[in-house]
Structure 1
């Protein structure tokens, strides 16, 4: 394990995520961290490093719409703890980590694809475009000392299963290592988990998230 504990890895994730997204500095809480995000769909988030049903319910009952809970338990467990009016958020399954030296090197891209990258404000972004210039894949990494957070990895449906995700992850690992990071963390979907594991990432804990329902009925 590239971190001394899961709690240490979670702190690295929070620190890297706020840099990646331009969010406020995290506030330490007895149960984890609060981050002011400042978006209309997510005004803030509570990241719980020590979660139990009573803590989750208390936070949920005191949180307004637009405040997300990020909890390192299976989705079914979080669902059982939520009060009425709350629902699970899609796109959360596993909290993962990797030693950047162990992440598979960047493979070559299929013919016609072009990869570009740039760094600004502590964040390196990678974009792959198709031969016609259309978006194909992307990802970014924020380095905070010797650790980093990989974020917003995405491949367009029309360009999946062509090795583009592997190329993005390899490029991000090289960029992070080049800036002094030795280990990295990320939050994965169930679909993305297999890709990450295939290039050297390992699951540290389950990850699920929830938010209060809107008037339309969706979180």
Structure 2
């Protein structure tokens, strides 16, 4: 469990780095100041046990802009403890992979563009002047944390997601990254598994209500 916790905390730090967010600590776990349309703060913990989780839940209870996220193999014990909180997402997966170079050509006349800020990068593909796919990655040490890998509905199942991941991976490796970390949606997890990523734990996110 120590290794699982350390790996997940590395993801949190890297995810905050990608989005340029501030991280504090609450009861030994990171609290990220997300300041987004969906939430102001997010506490992230890794299978802390029912008692510790109940204490963490007190920090977000009653605050509709506060999120509590837990990563664990079995989420059921935490659902039971989370009385009074609202389930925001319960179908995501924390995944990891050793980074390896791969090629994925940009097909269909897409136009690539980059936004690079030090050890953070966003890669986009435009088709006919409109955004078709995009993704971001941040490198901290030897970790590459991938974030917001998205393909617009009109351009799915054309290999754009695979192309974005391959391109971002190559960039991250050029920055010294050797390990990949991300949290995947149901749809994204299928792509990442096909690329050799492994599921490490399930993810439950709750909002104070």
Q: Structure 1 length normalisation: TM-score?
A: 0.85
The whole-number CA distance in structure 2 between the counterparts of 1:112 and 1:91 is 37
The whole-number CA distance in structure 2 between the counterparts of 1:61 and 1:7 is 21
- Check 1:66–1:135 CA distance in 2 against 1; reply closer, same or farther (3 A cut): same
Q: What is aligned with 2:71?
A: 72
> Aligned-residue CA RMSD in angstroms?
2.0
**Is structure 2 residue 108 aligned with structure 1 residue 111?**
yes
**Is structure 2 residue 32 aligned with structure 1 residue 35?**
yes
| Structure 1 position 43, deviation (Å) | 1.4
Bigger proportion of residues as strand: 2
| Structure 1 position 153, deviation (Å) | 0.7
Q: Structure 2 length normalisation: TM-score?
A: 0.89
- Secondary structure class of the residue paired with 1:41: coil
The number of equivalent residue pairs is: 205
1:48-89 deviations in Å (ceiling 9; x for gaps): 1242222222222332321111111355443322122x2212
The whole-number CA distance in structure 2 between the counterparts of 1:92 and 1:120 is 31
Gaps of 5+ in 2: none
Once the two structures are overlaid, the 10-residue window that deviates more, 72-81 or 151-160, is 72-81
Once the two structures are overlaid, the 10-residue window that deviates more, 42-51 or 196-205, is 42-51
Match for residue 200 of structure 1 among 186, 196, 199: 196
Q: What is aligned with 2:4?
A: 6
Match for residue 147 of structure 1 among 139, 143, 154: 143
Gaps of 5+ in 1: 214-219
The whole-number CA distance in structure 1 between the counterparts of 2:90 and 2:113 is 26
CA contact (8 A) 2:27 2:56 kept: no
